[in-house]
Chain A
Amino acid sequence: MRPDFGVPPQAASADAAAPRVVMSEADVSRALRRIAHEILERNKGAQSLVVLGIPTRGVALARRLVKVMAEVEGREVPVGALDVTMYRDDLRRNPTRAVEHTDIPAPGIDGRTVVLVDDVLFSGRTVRAALDALSDLGRPQAVRLAVLVDRGHRDLPIRADFVGKNLPTSSAERVSVRLAEHDGADEVLISGGERR
């Protein structure tokens, strides 16, 4: 049994199971503002950028990022959605998933810097699928990755360029990103597993 320093065993197990907030609404908002600034700084402005969110929550995050960019730069950055369901390598191991829409903004992605946006970076398989999907759509000049939470446990050599929060987790834990657009509130929760 795991030692619980000074905490009564019953209370500890109840506590470990209960979800706890690791990012509040203010934290999420601050992280997104910072990421938007970092993207613009790295790209030396908003020219030739295209921001693509990975459904479902990545799309909402992508829209928020371009909103901040528009405030800073005074120009609209094209934003869209990139569904990667059909490119996943674990399709056979899971029940069929619903396919979401892919929406590539009018200028396309050829020769542009594409910023992929997702809520949580975990195994890296979603990002790998996204890279495959992108290569079927055109040839970007560069592809960058922005995530709200990097929780570690990568299966593939993939690293995010822009991270809202690095969150050390155990693989048994569950990280849930809740956003106002889908869940009525902004917060990041961690639940289940043993706390590190």
Chain B
Amino acid sequence: MRHLLSMRDLDRDGVLSILDTAASMHDVQRREVKKLPTLRGRTVVNLFFEDSTRTRSSFEIAGKWLSADVINISGKGSSTSKGESLRDTVLTVAAMGVDGLVIRHGASGAAAQVSQWVDAVVVNAGDGTHEHPTQALLDAYTMRQRLGDLEGRHVAIVGDLTHSRVLRSNLICLRTLGARVTVVAPPTLMPSGIATWAATDGFETAYDLDEVLPHVDAVMMLRVQRERMSGGYFPTAREYTVGYGLTRERLARLPEHAVICHPGPMNRGLEIAADAADAAQSLILDQVSAGVAVRMSVLYHLLASSGAGTAEGSVA
């Protein structure tokens, strides 16, 4: 694997190798000295054309703990706001001799496009509503920590599926690990063509959350992206909560061993009640802490060896 653009870049062994390495990285996080010399002399640029404090800072910490030099460039203050094209911005950054580019962009496919312009390793940190592979890896990592092997486990992904970039990566990742997945959403937030997609990737669709909940090992609540809601997706926030929110009543219906995930940031009281977010079953803060470990693992697998295609063997 040369870049991480999509969860489809990884086969089962590749995913497991990244998750296992992340477990070792997690141990490092508990140490007094959190620094490893692994990427000394390597430069990683976080190129964020969209805001994302959580993802950007966890990539930044991950790179720093591996001793890489990390630079953050945000779209707002950069030349793109002066009219420079994505290609010119990326080529300018690459010309400074960087080894890795972590890119977040509002256009689906942006990271894949960038990987064709530069020699540096490219990591997709979210492209439009397409993919967000490191988020899927950290979700899988967190669930695996609590539930063990995910083979045969049942995961429900609930909420705004249409606008989610987390959905696609998570579906691929969970199916690669052998989990059973059911996606649940109101019909208006179910992506078009979901039936064909479900048939290809082998997941189920449902519209009634209450029917699904008692049978799951994990429930992943997606954020209702109010900023992308131009209206018409559901009548009122209250109605959404009644139909699809993880309320206190629904929390009681979850099996005792089942866990709750949310990629954050949460709309408390909308898609998830405070009781559910703060429950013992909630892995939401574990997800944040795993984010650094998983991103350390990804940077290690992509950048530790001398680049171009040398990572085969451990990562497909």
Interface size class, chain A = 10 to 19
Judge whether B310 and A95 touch: CB under 8 Å. Answer: yes
Q: List 5 A-B contacts (CB under 8 A).
A: A94-B305, A95-B311, A96-B314, A98-B20, A101-B27
Judge whether B310 and A99 touch: CB under 8 Å. Answer: no
Residues of A within 8 A of B211 (CB): none
CA distance A99 to B305 in the complex (A): 13
Judge whether B23 and A137 touch: CB under 8 Å. Answer: no
Residues of A within 8 A of B21 (CB): 98-99
Residues of B within 8 A of A92 (CB): 304-306
Q: Which of B's residues lie within 8 Å of A, judged by CB?
A: 17, 20-21, 23-25, 27, 31-33, 35-38, 66, 297, 300-301, 304-306, 310-315
CA distance A132 to B27 in the complex (A): 17
CA distance A83 to B66 in the complex (A): 15
Residues of A within 8 A of B23 (CB): 101
Residue of B nearest to A83 (CB): B24
Residue of B nearest to A137 (CB): B31
Q: Which of B33, B36, B306, B313 contacts A86 (CB 8 A)?
A: B36
Is the CB of A183 closer than 8 A to any CB of chain B?
no
Most chain A CB inside 10 Å of its own CB: which residue of B17, B24, B297, B313? B24
CA distance A183 to B286 in the complex (A): 37
Q: Which of A's residues lie within 8 Å of B, judged by CB?
A: 83, 86-87, 91-102, 132, 136-138
Residues of A within 8 A of B38 (CB): 86-87, 91
Contacts A91-B305, A94-B305: A102 and B27 contacting too (C-beta < 8 A)? Answer: yes
Other A-B pairs, 17, CB within 8 Å; known A91-B305, A96-B300, A98-B17 = A83-B24, A86-B36, A86-B37, A86-B38, A92-B304, A93-B306, A95-B310, A96-B305, A96-B313, A98-B20, A99-B25, A101-B23, A101-B24, A102-B24, A136-B31, A136-B35, A136-B36
Judge whether B306 and A87 touch: CB under 8 Å. Answer: no
Residues of A within 8 A of B36 (CB): 86-87, 136
Residues of B within 8 A of A87 (CB): 36-38
Contacts A136-B31, A136-B33, A137-B31: A95 and B24 contacting too (C-beta < 8 A)? Answer: no
How close is B254's CB to chain A, nearest CB, in angstroms? 32
Residues of B within 8 A of A98 (CB): 17, 20-21, 314
Judge whether B37 and A132 touch: CB under 8 Å. Answer: yes
CA distance A138 to B306 in the complex (A): 30
CA distance A3 to B165 in the complex (A): 69
CA distance A97 to B17 in the complex (A): 10
Residues of A within 8 A of B312 (CB): 95
How close is A101's CB to chain B, nearest CB, in angstroms? 6
